[in-house]
Amino acid sequence: MVVARLMSWCVCVAALLLIEVAAQNAPPSTVIVAIRNVTVIPATSGSAAPITGATVVITGDRISALGPASSIVIPKQARIVDGSGKFLMPGLIEMHGHSSKARGSSLGLSVANGVTTIREMGGDHDELLRWRQEIAAGSRVGPRMLIAGPYLEAASRIERMRKDPPSERVEPFDRIRIPVGSPDDARRVIGELAKKGVDFVKIRTVQDNDTYLALNEAAHAHKLRLTGHVPTGMDPEFVLKAGQDDIEHGFLPPLKIASRDERLALWRKFAARGVVVVPTMVVIRQSVLEPFDHLKAVVEDTAGKIEPRRPYISLFCLKDWREQLSETSPARQKAYEEIAANTLRDFREMHEAGVELLTGSDVSVLNIFPGSTLHDELALFVSELKMTPAEAIERATRRSAKWLRIDGDTGTVEQGKTADLMLLDANPLEDIRNTRRIAAVFLRGAFYDRAGIDKLLANVKAAEDVTVDDWGRK
């Protein structure tokens, strides 16, 4: 026993020495930051205990050391950050974004709000790839991006959209939507997207059941996950049979199965097959059911007197919001109340049945703000789904990273992981709303303190796309 303990001690000492040697031998241009006396929320599980009185060393883009302050040697050239009274957690993962519509300035806005990874759920593929390359090269500030490419739509829907005069539509839909009208179309389109290197495939509407089956089969043949909407009114058992990997927004209309036990039995089947659901509950709360007059006031609130986040919205996104607003009304909202209540019921029962629910906000839907609204969704995971704050945080970090297959690199606060982190002024485990109290953000090791975050926000507000429509129909 004594020998075993001695060997273990020697291994620990050797590891610490290697960390110190690596830090001291880092190139002079390598930035080293040490956060001292901080409470770490590792998010390695929903029940993982916080690590108090810790020191975390970040060398370049990696967490090079983490542990009790007494056991961590801080490199001489490190920038010291006092973590007293502060809480370090992983950066957030936005599982449902549309940056094409929110425009390029929204990427910096996401980072300012602690979002370090975004799953792009349909957009201008070539542009998104360019933005991702610019982020990698350091010429643009933005989160890690995983990209679906364009939406896949029923050919019949695209035909209807094309009947509208271009002057009456805001969105350049030919750039972001691909018509799929048959099983042969499905196989061809999926093959073309696979060659473009998409990270997964997103469906929005589907022509018919045979085409839906072909989309699933083709995606899986190319080792791509099929994500997106469930076709309206489709039998959940047929969805299970087809093999869709991820469901956005739940089932619409909500399940009409009267018995709670029957619904739970169905959701257990989805859980057993590993189907992920991104509920985007915040869309129901803050877009669909938000009082119409307030939505209208927000859209017109150029100065941000009603909604401080409003001045950061791009001009194209604002045009799109106005179009969305024109398609709703108080009467329509009233009619949706029962549907919304049953949809939220479905999400609560999914969670009870063990379905994996992950956090997404559906950036750029009306009244959904890049970055900050994801914090609102986190709060709904606690209030609506009755998760603990720790469980909700894990859904927005480690579990989302696992689904995206990047959990070996990000999603938790652990030695060796990429330094995608948020430093908070208050404990989110006591109140999930404290995730909004951001003191600093680390994005692949780049350190944005409060002044740096304020500069990011100022750059967003001053961005060209806030005053110029750089994308929509001219």
Check residues 254 and 3 and name the one with the higher pLDDT.
254
Q: Please give the average per-residue pLDDT across 268-287, as a whole number.
A: 97
* pLDDT reading at 28 higher than 70: no
Under 8 Å between Cβ of 225 and 248: no
Distance, in Å, from the CA atom of 111 to the CA atom of 134, rounded to the nearest integer, reads 15
- Predicted confidence at residue 45, as pLDDT, reads 87
Residue whose pair of structure tokens reads 């936005």 in the numeric block: 94
**What's the rounded Cα separation, in Å, for the pair 163 and 178?**
16
Q: Which two tokens stand for residue 193?
A: 């997207």
Q: Is 118 helix (H, G, I), strand (E, B) or coil?
A: strand
- Identity (one letter) of the amino acid at 2? V
**What are the structural domains, with CATH classification, of the chain?**
92-411 (3.20.20.140)
Q: Write the DSSP string, 254-290.
A: PP----HHHHHHHHHHHHHHT-EEE--HHHIIIIISS
51 touches 39 (CB < 8 A): yes
- Average pLDDT (221-232) is 96
Q: How far apart are CA 361 and CA 348, in angstroms?
A: 17
For position 473, what pLDDT does the model report?
A: 62
Residue 268: CB atoms within 10 Å: 16
Model confidence pLDDT, tens digit, residues 367-422: 999 999 999 999 999 999 999 999 999 999 999 999 999 999 999 999 999 999 99
- DSSP SS3 for 22: helix
Asked if residue 60 has pLDDT above 90, the reply is yes
pLDDT tens per residue across span 303-348: 999 999 999 999 999 999 999 999 999 999 999 999 999 999 999 9
d(CA 280, CA 288): 11
* Residue 223 DSSP SS3: coil
At residue 215, the pLDDT reads 98
The residue with tokens 């991104």 is 278
User: How far is residue 50's CA from residue 11's CA, in Å, rounded to a whole number?
Assistant: 24
CA–CA dist 240, 116 (Å, integer): 32
User: For 465, which DSSP code?
Assistant: H
**Predicted local distance difference test score (pLDDT) of residue 391:** 97
Alpha helices (H) along 118-259: 125-137, 155-163, 183-196, 209-221, 236-242
Helix (H, G, I), strand (E, B) or coil at 382: helix
- Sign of the dihedral defined by the CA atoms of residues 428, 144, 470, 321, in that order: negative
Sheet holding 115-120, edge to edge: 92-97, 115-120, 144-147
Which range (169-183, 190-204, 424-438) has the least confidence? 169-183
Confidence of residue 18 (pLDDT cuts 50, 70, 90): very low
Structure tokens at 459: 């750059």
Residue 110, pLDDT above cutoff 60: yes
Distances (CA, A) of 120 to 71, 305, 371: 41, 30, 13
The DSSP H or E segment spanning 64 is strand 62-68
Residue with token string 């930051």: 33
Q: Which amino acid is at 128?
A: L
Q: What is the predicted pLDDT for the residue at 314?
A: 97
CA triple 244-250-256, angle to 5 deg = 105
Distance CA 447, CA 456 (A): 12
Task: Name the nearest CA neighbour of 391 among 424, 362, 425, 357.
Answer: 357
Beta bridge partners of residue 38, listed in sequence order: 54
pLDDT tens, residue by residue, 127-166? 999 999 999 999 999 999 999 989 999 999 999 988 888 7
pTM, two decimal places = 0.92
Q: What is the mean pLDDT of residues 90-108?
A: 97
Q: Which residue did the predictor score with more confidence, 421 or 4?
A: 421
CA–CA gap between residue 405 and residue 358 (Å, rounded): 14
Of residues 107, 441, 402, the one with CA closest to residue 246 = 402
Q: Is the pLDDT of residue 113 over 60?
A: yes
pLDDT exceeds cutoff 80 at 364: yes
CA angle 226, 95, 346 (to 5 degrees): 80
User: Cα separation of 32 and 64, whole Å?
Assistant: 9
Please name the residues in contact with 177: beta carbons below 8 A apart, sequence gap of 6 or more.
122, 150, 151, 152, 153, 158, 161, 204
| Contact assessment for residue 176 and residue 99, using Cβ atoms and an 8 Å cutoff | no
Whole-number Å distance between alpha carbons of 336 and 155: 27
Whether residue 357 contacts residue 315, with contact meaning beta carbons closer than 8 Å, is answered with no
The Cα 114–Cα 378 span in angstroms is 13
Residue 4, pLDDT > 50, answer no
Q: Residue 181 pLDDT > 60, yes or no?
A: yes
* Straight-line distance from the first to the last Cα atom of the chain, in angstroms, rounded to the nearest whole number: 76
Using the 8-state DSSP alphabet, how is residue 430 labeled?
T
How much of the chain exceeds pLDDT 90, in percent? Answer: 86
**pLDDT > 70: percent of the chain:** 93
Report how far residue 464's alpha carbon sits from residue 467's, in angstroms, rounded to the nearest whole number.
6
- pLDDT given for residue 474 in this prediction: 52
Using the predicted structure, report yes or no on whether residue 204 has a pLDDT greater than 50.
yes
Mean pLDDT on 1-9: 42
Count other C-beta atoms under 10 Å from residue 217's C-beta: 17
Average pLDDT, the chain: 92
pLDDT band for position 29 (cuts 50, 70, 90): low
The pLDDT assigned to 346 comes to 96
